Structure 1
Amino acid sequence: MMQHPIKAPSPKIVRTAVLLPLLLSCISVFTSCRGNKEKPRDKKPNIVLINIDDLGYKDLGFMGSTYYETPHLDALAKEGMVFLRAYAGASNCAPSRACLLSGLNTPRHGVYTVSPSDRGNAKTRKLIPIKNTPHLNDTLYTLPQMLKSAGYVTGSFGKWHVGHDPKPQGIDVNVGGSSKGNPGRNGYFSPYNIDNITDGKRGEYLTDRLTQEALSFIETHKDTTFFLYMPYYTVHTPIMGKKELVERFRGKKGEKGQNRPDYAAMVYAMDQNVGRLMHALRQYGLEENTLVIFTSDNGGIRAISGQDPLRAGKGSYYEGGIRVPLVIKWPKKIEPQSVCSVPVSNLDFYPTLQHIAQPRKKADFLDGVDLAPLFTTGSIADRELYFHFPIYLQQYDGIKDQGRDPLFRTRPGSVIISGHWKLHEYFEDGALELYDLSEDIGETSNLAQENPEKTKELYEKLKKWRARTQAPVPTEPNSAYDADFRPYP
């Protein structure tokens, strides 16, 4: 059903009453990105940004899954614009969230991974990786700080992960957020292991609780202008679903790589809670003037949930690690049932929201672009997307990860996406991999030797971008490296 969802000759948006999975098989008919051209209202919109943790590109009904059940999100997709080529700023949670909240690419804030950067067996690493910065520097002007400057009340409910305390970074109301990146052992049921939350009744489900706290925030601030950030801990490990929901999926037939009842239960609970948030907006008469963004911080873990036809998953810079689901709903600004194949990034959220909010103090510099023209005129200027990861991330499940080798999800390198072309560069051996995503979304056929002109063109752009951003490249050999070492029999 989704073998080649980006075959279009140019970026485009269309509207249809047909279910989105059926759309993906006929994406080649898209010819333009067009939205509603109605003039903006005077009152600034409320903003709800839902950022799910480790949710894969294919882990939703409207993105083609027949195993997971996401009725509320399928409805949201029909009410807004679905982006088929949406990318996280990085392939795992800390750097992706740092990109989203700062509007800056990884070389500018230095958050490349969840520390440390020298993951995996030292004998299998050829280079000394660049040292990682664990959190955003407090001197950076964050998205919530910008929105506060525009008069927004800001609340975050869930995983913050880019600092010890969200409040100095622009959050007025924080529940559950700190430097912690996951809920910990057995952490989805009360009593909880995370910070800045009181325990509920024993057995209370964390995803439900965070939503309840957010609903209270909406009720309290319904007569103001608010920014609600929902960085749920779900569906990050440990994989823990509510018992009755696990049973719901236990007898359901799965599909290749998507057949775990406990994970399906987490996805279903997440969907139910998004539905609760959307219901509250309608209940309080806020829906018409609320912009909703739904996305994931990176690709899914392939050993838990398959992402075919995308290659690899979380921690990799193949498509399965960085391509994410994205829906934006904004009544009377974005026409319902719109689908867009323009490549976009979570780096674009900050400039888009800044354009809409018109704060007193704007960010001095942002790496993304304003996506608002996609909602009106239907296009944005052509540009490249860049990714930089001068670090190592060890494997989850060897061959199943579909990495460049079974030892690592990521070895040090950089990536450029330019139109339908994608180039990987690896710093250990200087290798280049070129893929035509319009014909090979699974990145199976390296065209670097076959198409040296395009390879050179993208490589030169990539080097110039690194120079502009002062992106650090590891060059120091690792003395512990052993070319003859075999970690497996």
Structure 2
Amino acid sequence: MVIKKKSIFFVISILICSIVTSCYYKKKEQINKPNIVFILVDDLGWSDLGFMGNPVYDTPNLDLLSKESVVFTNAYATAANCAPSRASILTGLNTPKHGIYTVGSSKRGKDINRKLIPIKNTTILKENFTTLGEALQENGYINATVGKWHLSENPITQGFNVNIGGTTAGHPKSYFSPYKNKALKDGPKGEYLTDRITTEAINFIVKNKKKPFFLYLPYYTVHTPLQGKEELVKKYDIKVNEDSRFSAKYGAMVESMDANIGRILTSLKELNLEKNTLVIFTSDNGGLAAVSSQFPLKAGKGSYYEGGIRVPFLVKWPAKIKQPKITETPVSGLDIFPTVMDAVNVHKDYSLDGVSLFPFLTKNKVVKERALFWHFPIYLQGINKVKDQARDPLFRTRPGSVIRKGKWKLHEYFEDGAIELYNLELDIQEKNDVSKKHPEKVKELYNLLKVWRTNTNAPVPKELNKNYIE
């Protein structure tokens, strides 16, 4: 009987030890998981920041952050406007897989000017897609989206525990309170939206500082309507000095955005979270050329020339990224999902279209050269005949596809079968179409593009529009 009691006691002791050890390692693993702060600015252009060479807009906080980060100068949005870009970033899937190609209808512009019937657009991200938020939730993260959502009625059903300010709306009705946003209580009259969004984000960080968190911070700024703080607008009225390449109101919005990102970074430091927080900063698409010149890039938001899809992109994580640097390695918003999952040590197969940048960021391993693809079987009307820098004055985008591989970039247009080829190493402005000089390169890239469209079931519009007037 004594032996049995000793045996039972031994077994119980072993079980208790196992449970305690398991809890210890689970807690240790949880502590070691990085916090993630993903800042996505709306319509911020590649050329709009000080560290990217802008001579007018003041961005001291981001300039400092760039010196502490890996800066990608050849970073690309997944689409040239917001809804498809956000859908692709959050699912890790290119546009043909979720069907979101634009905002609202794909029949943008006048019917008589559209030669083809565009592919029908999907406006809501279906819940059968796994989002980055859901993947992190499954692995112990508490998640918040603070700002613009734009993909469904409520992000709570798609991987977020907290939603502040996110609805189907693509831009605010006002940057000054009252906001008329059903997911955000109005503040004092005249409160600035970018300030308020940041305060809410900091409150989330403070509340969840002892557990791994994912803060998705998709600012509404710097999307229209152009509304900046009066004192900053006056400052930029003087700085811009009637230079049509820049905008005083836009400059004021950019500076307010920068100041608030500074507040986020300061909070992380004060809470001793900076070292183990992965900070990702980028834009959902290129800047609006009618508002702010993207020179030396061609065109802007809504175009698949460089100005419409090349974006600022930087990553900081002091615990793992030991060497800040600037790199010309081409990357895509599609790479964010796999990179984050690699960073949190989750290796589930989500069948993503991007690649993890984690080995490059932490061990300087080369990112294997690959092709990047864009598909836009839709129309997007023009805004400014001169500043749009489009193929014609009616549309920023006509139906087509684009591929970039290495230094080469090929555009295909479905209406007339036209092909354009650019050597971005020599011609970042996409001024000189060299398709006639390099037929073998055209053939190579075009074949890759066709194979990719087949593999992704990318729909190509072929039906002629009977209302079209040539």
Q: Same fold (TM over 0.5)?
A: yes
State how far apart, in whole Å, the 2-side matches of 1:311 and 1:98 are: 25
State the match for 1:406 in structure 2: 393
Query: Is this contact kept in 2: 1:235–1:266, CA < 8 A?
Result: yes
State how far apart, in whole Å, the 1-side matches of 2:427 and 2:467 are: 37
Query: Is this contact kept in 1: 2:299–2:307, CA < 8 A?
Result: yes
State how far apart, in whole Å, the 1-side matches of 2:71 and 2:40 are: 15
Give per-residue Cα distances to partners, 1:361-380, cap 9 Å, x unaligned: 83531000000121113311
State the match for 1:8 in structure 2: none
State the match for 1:68 in structure 2: 57
State the match for 1:96 in structure 2: 85
SS at match of 1:399: coil
Note closer, same or farther for the CA distance 1:255–1:48 as it changes in structure 2 (3 Å cut): farther
State the match for 1:78 in structure 2: 67
Give per-residue Cα distances to partners, 1:85-138, cap 9 Å, x unaligned: 000000000000000000000000000000100100111100000000002110
Using the size of structure 2 for normalisation, the TM-score is: 0.92
Is 1:275 the equivalent of 2:262? yes
SS at match of 1:203: coil
Query: Is this contact kept in 1: 2:376–2:400, CA < 8 A?
Result: yes
State how far apart, in whole Å, the 1-side matches of 2:49 and 2:135 are: 32
Q: Report runs of 4+ in structure 1 exceeding 6 Å deviation.
A: none
Give per-residue Cα distances to partners, 1:133-171, cap 9 Å, x unaligned: 002110100000001111111001100011110000001
State which of 102, 114, 117 in structure 2 corresponds to 1:128.
117
State how far apart, in whole Å, the 1-side matches of 2:31 and 2:371 are: 34
State which of 442, 458, 465 in structure 1 corresponds to 2:445.
458
Q: Which has the higher helix share?
A: 2
State the match for 1:208 in structure 2: 195
Query: Is this contact kept in 1: 2:246–2:293, CA < 8 A?
Result: no
State the match for 1:368 in structure 2: 354
State how far apart, in whole Å, the 2-side matches of 1:157 and 1:88 are: 20
State the match for 2:408 in structure 1: 421
Query: Is this contact kept in 1: 2:31–2:212, CA < 8 A?
Result: no
| 1:254 CA displacement | 5.7
State how far apart, in whole Å, the 2-side matches of 1:273 and 1:237 are: 18
Is 1:316 the equivalent of 2:298? no
Amino acid at match of 1:79: E
Is 1:59 the equivalent of 2:48? yes
Query: Is this contact kept in 2: 1:80–1:335, CA < 8 A?
Result: no
State the match for 2:11 in structure 1: none
Q: How many residues align?
A: 441
| 1:42 CA displacement | 7.0
Larger-gyration structure (1/2)? 2
State the match for 2:435 in structure 1: 448
State the match for 1:235 in structure 2: 222
State how far apart, in whole Å, the 2-side matches of 1:300 and 1:178 are: 23
Is 1:297 the equivalent of 2:284? yes
Is 1:189 the equivalent of 2:158? no
State the match for 1:226 in structure 2: 213
| 1:255 CA displacement | 9.1
State how far apart, in whole Å, the 2-side matches of 1:362 and 1:205 are: 41
SS at match of 1:114: coil
Using the size of structure 1 for normalisation, the TM-score is: 0.88
State how far apart, in whole Å, the 2-side matches of 1:115 and 1:192 are: 22
State which of 379, 387, 393 in structure 1 corresponds to 2:380.
393
SS at match of 1:280: helix
State the match for 1:351 in structure 2: 338
State how far apart, in whole Å, the 1-side matches of 2:442 and 2:134 are: 40
Name stretches of at least 5 consecutive residues in structure 2 with no aligned partner.
Answer: 1-28
SS at match of 1:266: helix
Aligned-pair identity in percent equals: 55
Q: Structure 1 residues 40-49 or 95-104, which shifts more?
A: 40-49
State how far apart, in whole Å, the 2-side matches of 1:351 and 1:240 are: 36
State how far apart, in whole Å, the 1-side matches of 2:293 and 2:350 are: 40
Map 1:224-263; keep pairs closer than 5 Å.
Answer: 224-253=211-240, 257-263=244-250
State how far apart, in whole Å, the 2-side matches of 1:253 and 1:408 are: 28
State the match for 1:6 in structure 2: none
State how far apart, in whole Å, the 2-side matches of 1:279 and 1:448 are: 49
Query: Is this contact kept in 2: 1:303–1:397, CA < 8 A?
Result: yes
State the match for 2:24 in structure 1: none
Amino acid at match of 2:69: G
Amino acid at match of 1:268: E
State which of 153, 162, 186 in structure 2 corresponds to 1:164.
153
Is 1:180 the equivalent of 2:169? yes
